[in-house]
Structure 1
Amino acid sequence: MTQWERLQQLDTVYSQRAFDLYNGDEFPMDVRHYLAHWIEGQDWERASRDSSQAAFLFQVLLENLDNQFSRFAQERDSFLLQRNFRRYKQNFQKYQEEPYTLATIINWFLVKEKGILNDAELAQQVQTLQVQPAAMELESQRQVEKRLKDLKTKVEVMEHSIRCLEEQQDEFDFKYQTHLMDSCTAEEKKKQLEGLQKMLNAVDNCRRNFLSDISAILNAADVLCSALIDEELVEWKRRQQKSCIGAPDDTSLEHLEKWFTQIIECMFQLQMFLQKLDELVGKMTYENDPIPVQKPPLQSRVDTLLTHLIKSSFVVENQPSMPQGRGLLVLRTNVQFSVKVRLLYKVPELNHVMKVTVSVNKFRKFNVLGTLSKALNMAESMNGGMVADFRHLTLKDRKVGGGGKGINDLSLSVTEELHRITFQTQFDYQGLSVPLETSSLPVVVISNSSQQQSAWASVLWFNMLCPDPENVKFFETSPAATWPQFGEMLSWQFLSCGKRCLHNDQLETLAIKLFGKQQSYDNCKISWTKFSKENLPDTNFTLWVWLDGILNLVKLYLSDLWSDGSIMGFVSKGKERLLLKKKQNGTFLLRFSESIKDGGITFSWVQYANDGTPSVHTVKPFTSTDLKQIALPDILCNFRIMVAENIPVNPLCYLYPNTPKDQAFGKYYSEKTEEENPYLKYLKTKLVFVSKENSCSGVREGPESDLCTQDRDPPSISDAGDEDVLLRESEKSPMLSSSTTDADILNSMLDIDGESTVPKPFPATSPHISLSCLHQNFPESAGDNLEEAHFTDTFQEFFNEINFQIQQEDNVNLALALS
């Protein structure tokens, strides 16, 4: 199925984005549609950089337009398309002199389409994670909506009933007063009394029915409140708790706010009805009047429900977070943080009336600095909700007694201490006065940035396992996590950092690492100590430190590659071998190192000997230090090994399972311009990893094969004496004249035997570097040489002038090869 066909099968939202993409005239949708197979079969990214390739594709495109035009000419109902394709061809003629411009345009559209497909795939992944809970939530929401609608209908009926009751009582009162003032015979008075008795019986019956109806409404309201507070609100709080650690859960308060507002309004209406009954009793009462007896308990029920609803409606909408913090719920002393609270009952009359104050306690004592009191208002909310947004709060450690830690909590580390930030306000409305209080989820308070990693581990563990946010002593007896719980939490971390969850194979690899091979991992458990305190076997770091290093690497340098699925990530070395040896020569995959503390990524590829025997080679892992200097796609693009006759060749051809390397990573390649690279103002260069073929460590199929190079070593293919050399090869250099002594200069930077050395000083009088020294054919620029480029200084002086620095880091040396 073509990419274009996949776009047409997307949901309306995403297919509409594709259609909107082609609203302009740069590249007509008709051409994209009818030539989809041919268009997607061409390498437009390469054509945008290769004029000859662009010219060839341009001519083929025009021929395809002619062929499509001829097909339309043979169809009866294709007159408009026939005319349109003629116009399209005429419009494309303007690119005759610059066909690479058209190639760039087409490539841009294809990249944008891929982005839409990736977004749709991500949305599908999130939907898959939520499909069953979402269906249950939808059903529960329908039930709440139905009950709320029934409640509102009953209250509206009660409003009509109270008016009828008042009218009946007024009529009785009028006739009774008339009867007292009327002078008539005894027989007439007897008839009047009989009529008045019937009316009084009707009033009494109406009062009793009204009170009974209120009781029934309160019964329905009890059920609705239970569903709203004990189920929906609890579920929202749990979703919010999981979202704080990366779960893709919906934490919108839109539904809850609407429901709380409507049911509270209904309760206030019932309160008004009961007050109206007091007025009616004040005007008229009688023996066995039901109102004085039945109304007080009903009033108590209404007040209790209102109080419960209003107290429950005061929530923390946005949990505490620092602007540049590691994650939610990790705060640092003397660093500002923000938090937002909301009252789910929208009542305009209380706008800017209710003042919210902030406090914090437990364990260490803190002074809270900043604006400690704010009014609930509708101006700080997008939908007009009652919120107080505290944006500039700061915690300052206040030493008490013998130190900052609590008396009974000396066994806990600072990052295991949990604190809650509390918010208080007073609700006064329509005669009801209710003190309100809510608290944040437990936060971890640190004093320096080195504690962030450990603090975030505590936040992850607590919110993964503890549904009770008030349990601030959780880490005194922390429970173990089951593998399904742990795997889900870990998958959320990768979704947050790289917009893609862990798939089942990756999770299984991690499970095997932790528990060994099992038929099922559902009952396997991992303790808090094993997660964050005990070092992994044969390492000096914990499981969490290792995982966190990988997460940081993905977030900072690999998010795009992780998001589009280019990184296999977690795969054992044995399985890596099994996967690669079945693939064609040059197939490679990317996986994370298991022995780099701060996160490392490596790649392995399969290479076949002349007899057809496969061997797998692996480079030493790249860390954040390496990726900060060179992006991984550029490393993959420019990686070289020295084969026969010392010719550098890139052995990486296909990303596992069979995607051409440039197709997978081409959109990420960077071409450094002179402006971006001031040190290379006069030379256009690129960085290349080079190693001798016979120095590559690898695994050949056989009984005595080694697994791969050690992950803990710096980036290299060699696991013996020869290190990888990061070679700058010139793409377009003005220094092209040859000399018999050029090898001396190159050897001063790179020994003949392939061993990397610290670059030696250049000779005082340096001839031009010969192209032959590099054992690689680079494009020539006829007639250009050092003198013609107006460089009159010696080679050493030239480099001193532009302050070019050659650094040696770990076992990887930088050398500059100039053509």
Structure 2
Amino acid sequence: MDQEKELDHEVNNLRRSVQEIEQDIQVLEDLQYEYDIKTKSSEVNDETKSHATKESQREEMANEQMFTDLNIKREMVIKEIANSLTLAEQIQLTLLSEELPEWKKRQQMACIGGPHNTCLEQLQNWFTVVAECLQQIHQQLKKVQELVQKYTYNNDPLTLGKSQLDEQALSLFKKLISNSLVVEKQPCMPTHPKRSLVLRTVQFTVKIRLLVKLPELNSQPKAKIYIDKGFSEMDTVKGCRNFHFLGSVNKVMTLDESSGCLAAEFRHLTVRETRPSNRSKEFSLSMYEELHLISFETQLVLPELCIDLSITCLPVVVLFGGLLPWAWGFILWYNMCCSEPHNLLFFLNPPPVKWGQLSEVLSWQFSSVTKRALNSEQLRTLADKLLGPEAQGDPEALIHWNTFYKGSSGSGDSFWQWIYEHLELAQKYVPNIWNDGYIIGFLSKEREKALLRDKLPGTFLLRFGENSRCGGIIITWVERSQEGEAVVRSTEPYTKIDLNRISLPNIIRDYTISDGEKDPVNPLIYLYPDIPRDVAFGRYYTSASDALGGMNEDRLSGLKIQDGTKACQ
């Protein structure tokens, strides 16, 4: 915020200084006109008088003073223009070397679930004000030239530095416009709006836009889209695929209603492979590891200037029927570790990432598709699984790609697969009670026992399965033995297959156990820490009874699914 306020202050100073120059040029023009009238009048008087008089001497002294004032005013105007251009250059340097890269980094994080308020409108405002000021200075220098043409003299301040200021103003304006083209919306399939940068051979959308809003730019230029243009890195890896677009690759940039700037959205493009690839097992990257670049080119034709613009999207993964969750793992890792959009060979040797960064991104995966992020307890459980309890969730500890993607949760399955399956479970099958905070989520068995040990009998909690290859929710409750000791019991995981048939609140409501001697009872009385079951879940109950019938008892020894196979643990 401090940096934003400081930049706002500098931009306002630039606008104010340019407005003051406008006023000073008007004063200069009036002064020059008055001086011109006075000098011509004095010349006429000199011709009609044969000798000098006191009146003519006073007139001459007045003219000399007026010339001095005129010269000072000219010096002041040209100095003010130079100072304004210096300020504009400083602001532009900040915009292009700091603010624009930081915005691109925020957008990059937003693509993988981070905060979506990337402040593009603020950036557009700064770009536009600087462009307007540079344009106004350019017109002011034209006015200065008109004044010079009407009247000049030796060592005229307006002529000494004007050509250099002209070049500086034009160069700054051209550089600003050249860098004002951005990718407002990164490539994304409409069917998966939360999974940018993963494309299948179906239609996808991508949008570019200018950050400068000027009437002179409304010429409706054409933008052209390319894939992998000018990047030969992939040719060094045997078997990498080549692609082309189906659909029109040209789009007219028109005024965007929301921003007022020129923009073009490509909505009906499809990626196709140009030719079958001969993939080499020794050298080739996998389909998920191949990164491809989508880029754009356009040209702005202005009254005195022609500017070429280009911009490149973040790398995309192109699938042919592959699993989107796997590809999304690659997109996450790349964008966590790499800010170079052209590093297409990243996955030949992917670097590690710090746990502090990975934990934040994992939390984003849940907050971006539900209303609830992962809390510190859940993240600590994940850290223990990846790093071991002895690391104590050290934010500086390094996680390697193979550990995250190909390595292990407790069962030897991929850690990322385990995370994603529960992410999908929370998003699609139990969104309401997940958003309510009723599912503790990632929790170790040891921590689970510690939470329930001192609670009333019948207190239960909901957590994700520790070793579930397909994702599942385990119900764990506490009982008291005859000796009064706490006994913790758990169901097997309720998987997507189960929750597609019956809602979890209904399962909790109708859950019963029986030891064969007594009537079946529901042991689930209080949701941890002490919420009565029906208070927590009553609004989600449906009138239908438990469609799984007598399957509840089987949960204690292994749930049988319709096809007769055992549920994932």
Q: TM-score, normalised by structure 2?
A: 0.90
Q: Deviations over 1:308-329 (max 9, x none)?
A: 2212221111111001136001
Whether the 8 Å CA contact 2:220–2:262 is kept in 1: the answer is no
Selected match of 1:158 from 9, 17, 21: 21
Whether the 8 Å CA contact 1:497–1:559 is kept in 2: the answer is no
Gap change, CA 1:410 and 1:286, over 3 Å in 2: farther
Which residue identity is paired with 1:209?
Answer: M
Map 1:350-389 → 2, pairs under 5 A: 350-351=217-218, 353-361=220-228, 362=231, 363=234, 364-378=241-255, 380-389=256-265
Whether the 8 Å CA contact 1:307–1:434 is kept in 2: the answer is yes
Whether the 8 Å CA contact 1:642–1:690 is kept in 2: the answer is no
Partner of 2:238: none
Shift in Å, 1:691 = 5.3
Shift in Å, 1:290 = 2.6
Partner of 1:445: 318
- Give the Cα separation in 1 of the matches to 2:411 and 2:90: 58
Gap change, CA 1:409 and 1:267, over 3 Å in 2: farther
- Give the Cα separation in 2 of the matches to 1:435 and 1:221: 22
Aligned partner of residue 394 in structure 1, secondary structure: strand
Partner of 2:110: 243
Whether the 8 Å CA contact 1:635–1:689 is kept in 2: the answer is no
Whether the 8 Å CA contact 2:387–2:393 is kept in 1: the answer is no
Q: Deviations over 1:573-627 (max 9, x none)?
A: 1221222121111111111112221211111111112221221111111111111
Partner of 1:717: 556
- Give the Cα separation in 1 of the matches to 2:108 and 2:417: 23
Q: Deviations over 1:489-526 (max 9, x none)?
A: 00000112322111111111111111112345122110
Partner of 1:480: 352
Gap change, CA 1:447 and 1:352, over 3 Å in 2: farther
Map 1:515-664 → 2, pairs under 5 A: 515-517=387-389, 518-519=391-392, 521-536=394-409, 538-539=411-412, 541-664=413-536
Partner of 1:295: 162
Whether the 8 Å CA contact 2:459–2:527 is kept in 1: the answer is yes
Deviates more, 1:319-328 or 1:191-200: 191-200
Shift in Å, 1:192 = 5.8
Whether the 8 Å CA contact 1:144–1:228 is kept in 2: the answer is no
Shift in Å, 1:399 = 2.0
Q: Deviations over 1:738-766 (max 9, x none)?
A: xxxxxxxxxxxxxxxxxxxxxxxxxxxxx
Partner of 2:39: 176
Partner of 1:396: 272
Whether the 8 Å CA contact 2:460–2:526 is kept in 1: the answer is yes
Whether the 8 Å CA contact 2:501–2:547 is kept in 1: the answer is no
Shift in Å, 1:429 = 2.8
Deviates more, 1:467-476 or 1:588-597: 467-476
- Give the Cα separation in 2 of the matches to 1:353 and 1:808: 60
Q: Does 1:203 align with 2:56?
A: no
Aligned partner of residue 616 in structure 1, secondary structure: strand
Selected match of 2:199 from 303, 321, 331: 331
Partner of 2:367: 495
Shift in Å, 1:476 = 3.2
Shift in Å, 1:264 = 1.0
Map 1:334-353 → 2, pairs under 5 A: 335-351=202-218, 353=220
Which residue identity is paired with 2:121?
Answer: E
Partner of 1:454: 326
Q: TM-score, normalised by structure 1?
A: 0.64
- Give the Cα separation in 1 of the matches to 2:294 and 2:563: 50
Shift in Å, 1:551 = 1.0
Whether the 8 Å CA contact 1:535–1:542 is kept in 2: the answer is yes
Partner of 1:283: 150
Q: Does 1:514 align with 2:386?
A: yes
Which residue identity is paired with 1:393?
Answer: L
Selected match of 2:543 from 655, 671, 675: 671
Partner of 1:255: 122
RMSD of aligned residue pairs (Cα, Å): 2.5
Q: Deviations over 1:561-584 (max 9, x none)?
A: 211111111111122122212111
Partner of 2:52: 187
How many residue pairs get aligned? The number is 551
Whether the 8 Å CA contact 1:639–1:689 is kept in 2: the answer is no
- Give the Cα separation in 2 of the matches to 1:454 and 1:687: 32
Whether the 8 Å CA contact 2:380–2:393 is kept in 1: the answer is no
Shift in Å, 1:181 = 4.7
Whether the 8 Å CA contact 2:502–2:547 is kept in 1: the answer is no
Selected match of 1:419 from 292, 301, 307: 292
Runs of 5+ consecutive residues of structure 1 not aligned to the other structure: 1-137, 673-683, 693-714, 727-806, 813-819
Shift in Å, 1:171 = 2.5
Which residue identity is paired with 1:162?
Answer: I
- Give the Cα separation in 2 of the matches to 1:348 and 1:216: 26
Aligned partner of residue 291 in structure 2, secondary structure: coil
Aligned partner of residue 570 in structure 1, secondary structure: coil
- Give the Cα separation in 2 of the matches to 1:329 and 1:304: 35
Partner of 1:20: none
Shift in Å, 1:687 = 4.1
Whether the 8 Å CA contact 1:554–1:562 is kept in 2: the answer is yes
Report 1 or 2 for greater relative contact order, CA contacts < 8 Å, sequence distance ≥ 6.
2
Aligned partner of residue 379 in structure 2, secondary structure: helix
Shift in Å, 1:195 = 4.7
Whether the 8 Å CA contact 1:640–1:690 is kept in 2: the answer is no
Partner of 1:810: 565
Selected match of 1:307 from 174, 180, 199: 174
Which residue identity is paired with 1:464?
Answer: M
Which residue identity is paired with 1:322?
Answer: M
Partner of 1:760: none
Whether the 8 Å CA contact 1:548–1:598 is kept in 2: the answer is no
Shift in Å, 1:245 = 0.8
Q: Deviations over 1:302-358 (max 9, x none)?
A: 12221222122211111110011360011113x100011111112244435222211
Shift in Å, 1:454 = 2.1
Aligned partner of residue 439 in structure 2, secondary structure: coil
Q: Does 1:435 align with 2:308?
A: yes
Map 1:683-694 → 2, pairs under 5 A: 686-690=547-551
Partner of 1:91: none
Which residue identity is paired with 2:457?
Answer: N
Whether the 8 Å CA contact 2:385–2:410 is kept in 1: the answer is no
Partner of 1:220: 87
- Give the Cα separation in 2 of the matches to 1:174 and 1:413: 82
- Give the Cα separation in 2 of the matches to 1:531 and 1:305: 46
- Give the Cα separation in 2 of the matches to 1:560 and 1:229: 44
Runs of 5+ consecutive residues of structure 2 not aligned to the other structure: 235-240
- Give the Cα separation in 2 of the matches to 1:471 and 1:211: 46
Selected match of 1:467 from 331, 339, 346: 339
Map 1:89-100 → 2, pairs under 5 A: none
